[in-house]
């Protein structure tokens, strides 16, 4: 099967918080070495409560047999959402690229799994599907993350920094001729956990945190975590949060307003540590809608945080996974050694043809 440009691809993205499945169909082209894209349609599909609970709370404790069964079942679910999306939009893409949902991420031990079988997606949709983008990079000694920086570099290279704020915040930027990228800190993965304890899905606009005061002792403890003193390449997973962050927050025994206010200050302060004042930062991901968080980040970093059109805010990661699928189809590297620490640039992913 030969793929040529322009090429239309559907990208699927589900973040660590598993709030929803983002689906973005875009057409990519390259003229005189410069990439361009057009978002043809994008939708977000909320997970059914039972499926979300399985992804967030149960899948890591499953038996091997149940895990493999769920891997296939979740892949069929993803394929079903793609079919629904295509019926709604009338689009006929040539390729699907799926991030999957990160279940294990311990690259130092060679452990990583993106659940959601690409073969099941291809079987359900009848469309060639690329999935499992991280595994090869980890086998080459890399972090397998972040993967978005190649898209930042080729699609959004006019900005000094590209910042995505989701379950975790991650950043990418050019340093000389190299693209540097890494996870900065957890964000919504922590905030949403404490909001759910009081029956809310999120701290909308940061209204809860805005009512609180910073607890200096807790802030100091968070900022002192060893991860923040490491040099890139580095990446975070929910195992690290559950082992290092939640115990500190729980032990502080603070009212929710103060707990969140302190954590927001931590997130904003960690951003400020890694950027140069006065630069332009493109901000995407669900956290871009959190007005109080963005305000603290802008104040502490002394940078201009630029919020793009809603489709880019909400679907940039799904868009870039579609782009990763296009790079795979063209046999071009999508994982950069300067970002992940792998032995070499590599073409991550597996293609299932139908």
Q: Taking 80 as the threshold, does the pLDDT of residue 19 lie above it?
A: no
- pLDDT tens sequence across 206-226: 999 999 999 999 999 999 999
- The chain-wide mean pLDDT, for the chain, equals 95
What's the whole-model pTM score? Answer: 0.85
pLDDT band for 69, please (50, 70, 90 cuts): very high
pLDDT band for 56, please (50, 70, 90 cuts): confident
Contact (CB, 8 A) for 281 and 307: no
* Beta strands per DSSP E along 205-323: 280-284, 304-306
pLDDT at 63: 97
pLDDT at 1: 62
pLDDT at 28: 98
- pLDDT tens sequence across 108-149: 888 889 999 999 999 999 999 999 999 999 999 999 988 888
pLDDT band for 164, please (50, 70, 90 cuts): very high
pLDDT band for 197, please (50, 70, 90 cuts): very high
pLDDT at 257: 98
pLDDT at 104: 84
* Beta strands per DSSP E along the chain: 7-13, 20-31, 34-46, 95-98, 101-106, 111-115, 129-131, 161-165, 168-175, 178-186, 280-284, 304-306, 350-352
pLDDT at 200: 94
Alpha helices in 95-182 (DSSP H): 118-125, 135-139, 149-155
Q: Taking 80 as the threshold, does the pLDDT of residue 91 lie above it?
A: yes
In the chain, the domains with their CATH numbers are: 7-144+316-352 (3.30.420.40), 149-310 (3.30.420.40)
Contact (CB, 8 A) for 145 and 172: no
**What's the 3-state SS for 296-347?**
HHHHHHCCEEECCCHHHHHHHHHHHHHHHHHHHHCCCCCECHHHHCCCCCEC
pLDDT band for 16, please (50, 70, 90 cuts): low
pLDDT at 102: 84
Pick from 349, 352, 346: which is nearest to 140 by CA?
346
pLDDT band for 107, please (50, 70, 90 cuts): confident
């Amino acid at each position: 099967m030969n793929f040529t440009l322009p090429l239309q691809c559907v990208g699927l993205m589900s973040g660590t918080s598993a709030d929803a499945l983002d689906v973005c169909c875009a057409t990519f082209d390259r003229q005189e070495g410069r990439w361009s894209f057009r978002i043809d349609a994008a939708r977000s599909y909320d997970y059914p409560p039972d499926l979300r609970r399985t992804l967030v709370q149960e899948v890591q404790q499953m038996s091997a047999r149940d895990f493999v069964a769920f891997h296939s079942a979740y892949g069929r679910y993803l394929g079903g959402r793609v079919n629904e999306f295509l019926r709604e939009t009338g689009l006929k893409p040539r390729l699907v690229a799926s991030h999957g949902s990160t279940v294990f991420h311990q690259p130092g031990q060679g452990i990583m799994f993106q659940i959601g079988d690409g073969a099941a997606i291809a079987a359900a949709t009848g469309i060639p599907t690329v999935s499992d983008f991280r595994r090869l990079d980890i086998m080459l000694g890399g972090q397998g993350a972040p993967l978005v920086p190649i898209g930042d570099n080729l699609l959004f290279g006019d900005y000094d920094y590209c910042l995505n704020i989701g379950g975790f915040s991650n950043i990418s930027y050019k340093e000389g001729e190299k693209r540097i990228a890494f996870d900065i800190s957890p964000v919504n993965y922590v905030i949403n956990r404490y909001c759910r304890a009081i029956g809310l899905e999120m701290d909308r606009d940061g209204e809860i945190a805005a009512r609180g005061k910073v607890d200096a002792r807790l802030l100091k403890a968070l900022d002192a975590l060893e991860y923040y003193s490491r040099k890139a390449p580095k990446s975070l997973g929910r195992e690290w949060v559950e082992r290092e962050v939640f115990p500190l927050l729980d032990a502080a025994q603070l009212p929710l307003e103060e707990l969140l206010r302190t954590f927001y200050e931590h997130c904003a302060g960690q951003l400020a540590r890694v950027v140069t004042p006065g630069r332009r930062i493109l901000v995407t991901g669900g956290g871009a809608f959190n007005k109080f968080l963005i305000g603290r980040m802008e104040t502490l970093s002394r940078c201009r945080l630029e919020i793009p059109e809603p489709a880019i805010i909400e679907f940039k990661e799904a868009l870039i996974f579609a782009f990763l699928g296009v790079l795979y189809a063209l046999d071009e590297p999508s994982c950069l050694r300067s970002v992940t620490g792998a032995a070499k640039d590599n073409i991550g992913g597996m293609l299932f043809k139908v």
